[in-house]
């Protein structure tokens, strides 16, 4: 029985030494004095097993900089909206599909694609908030429908599909699914940047 008790004490001491630190929590009123007493006392548990104090974090040497907030957290550029792991920009200026694609490219982005109903709904809401009802997306017919961002065209939400011989560019409709239309039409567009380019 004594051996079991001794093993329990030793094991609890080892676990206490190897345990990972717990994230700090705001102190409850009246516990500040108790916490200060605990920090000031020798780190020893009830069983009398010595537990070393936690090491202090390394200080930065002269010339070193702590990582910026932008480096630790994903933030979209001003004017862009975040959805999942991408940044989106509604461009209200009317442009042809080709001009809209070139504009997105100049911003380090591609035209937006949609891969599920939630993503398409986000693009519809983004267009509505921008004051539009139609916007070019990155869908193009070239030996089949494809997205210009090279992602798979694996989701379909057509409200109308016209002859691809004349209408090869995809546009969003805020009140329905997407359609294909004449690429020369001057409509707003939606650009998308992925997290590694924001």
DSSP letter string, 70-101: HHHS--PPTT-EEETTEEEEEEEEEE-HHHHH
Q: How do residues 87-145 score in pLDDT, each as one tens digit? A: 999 999 999 999 999 999 999 999 999 999 999 999 999 999 999 999 999 999 999 99
Which one, of 130, 129, 131, 120, lies nearest residue 172 by Cα? 120
The torsion angle over the Cα atoms of residues 43, 46, 49 and 54, rounded to 10 degrees, is -30
CA of 146: how far to CAs of 24, 51, 101, 112, 152, in Å? 49, 61, 14, 12, 7
| pTM beyond cutoff 0.75 | no
Q: For the chain, how are helix, strand and coil distributed in percent, rounded to 5?
A: 25, 25, 50
Expressed in angstroms, the distance from the first to the final Cα of the chain is 63
Query: 82-194 adopts what CATH topology?
Result: Mannose-Binding Protein A; Chain A (3.10.100)
Q: How do residues 81-97 score in pLDDT, each as one tens digit? A: 999 999 999 999 999 99
- DSSP H or E stretch at residue 4: helix 2-18
């Amino acid at each position: 029985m004594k051996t079991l008790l001794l093993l329990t004490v030793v094991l609890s001491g080892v676990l206490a030494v190897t345990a990972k630190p717990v994230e700090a929590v705001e102190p409850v009123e009246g516990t500040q004095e108790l916490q200060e007493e605990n920090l000031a006392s020798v780190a020893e548990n009830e069983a009398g097993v010595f537990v070393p104090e936690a090491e202090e974090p390394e200080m930065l040497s002269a010339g070193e900089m702590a990582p910026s907030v932008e480096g630790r957290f994903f933030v979209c550029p001003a004017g862009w909206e975040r959805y999942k792991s991408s940044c989106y920009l509604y461009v209200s200026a009317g442009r042809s599909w080709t001009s809209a694609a070139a504009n997105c490219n100049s911003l380090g982005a591609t035209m937006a694609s949609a891969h599920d109903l939630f993503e398409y709904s986000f693009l519809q809401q983004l267009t509505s908030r921008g004051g539009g009802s139609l916007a070019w997306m990155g869908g193009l017919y070239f030996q089949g429908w494809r997205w210009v961002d090279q992602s798979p065209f694996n989701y379909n939400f057509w409200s109308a599909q016209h002859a691809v011989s004349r209408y090869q560019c995809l546009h969003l409709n805020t009140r329905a699914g997407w359609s294909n239309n004449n690429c020369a039409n001057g409509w707003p567009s939606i650009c998308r940047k992925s997290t590694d380019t924001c």
